[in-house]
Amino acid sequence: MIEKKPLPEDHIFEGKIKEYEQILIDFVLDSGRAKSVDPNLQLVLGYLGIHKRLTQKQLKDLTGLSTGTISKKLRDILALGVAKKEKIPKTNEYLYINTPESYGTVADTTLDDFTKINEFLKNKIIELKKFSHKKGAKFLSKRLKGLTKTFETVQNIWSDIEFIFTQQKKEN
């Protein structure tokens, strides 16, 4: 069953905060294009990454994709294991929640990619400080800080993996 947190009702940001959200989504889409990932899949993953928990209707509101496309992409995301689905009590709705695996599942991502992503996120946090009084700014800033911590962890782990891999190559 779903934890007793309130549902994310203010999922539509406004003004400058919406612009920052769009910059992040564009970044996610560009990253996906570079790896030939389905843009609709990247779009849904991007919004789940930013908002952490969304219903199918909220994803439809945010992405502008059809209900059928959202449904298909959510099935794909669940199959990849980068999100989980939990029934909302006393409704026929489900909440889709991103998991930590959604940030580090791409095996061909390099340490340089992680570093660039983390620097991008840190710059957006700094820029968001100017709009701290706007609706959604605190939420988006908090999510970005969480993402930077995740990417810093991934960078550290990836550095260790690359070091071990290099050592193994030298030994062989």
Tell me the domains of the chain and their CATH numbers. Answer: 15-167 (1.10.10.10)
* Per-residue confidence (pLDDT) for residue 62, from 0 to 100: 94
Up-side HSE of residue 93: CA atoms within 13 Å toward CB?
Answer: 13
In Å, how far are 37, 43, 47, 58, 87 from 70, measured between CA atoms? 16, 10, 12, 10, 17
| First CA to last CA distance, the chain | 50
CA–CA distance, 42 with 85 (Å, rounded to integer): 18
Please tell me the predicted confidence (pLDDT) of residue 159: 64
**In whole angstroms, what is the distance from residue 104 CA to residue 113 CA?**
11
- Looking at residue 109, its pLDDT comes to 52
**pTM score over 0.75:** no
Query: Could you give the 3-state DSSP secondary structure of residue 153?
Result: helix
Q: What is the pLDDT along the chain (172 residues), one digit of tens a residue?
A: 444 454 445 677 888 888 888 888 888 888 778 778 899 998 998 898 888 889 999 999 999 999 999 999 999 989 888 889 999 999 999 999 988 655 544 434 556 667 777 888 888 889 889 988 888 888 888 888 888 887 777 667 666 655 665 665 566 5
pLDDT at 104: 46
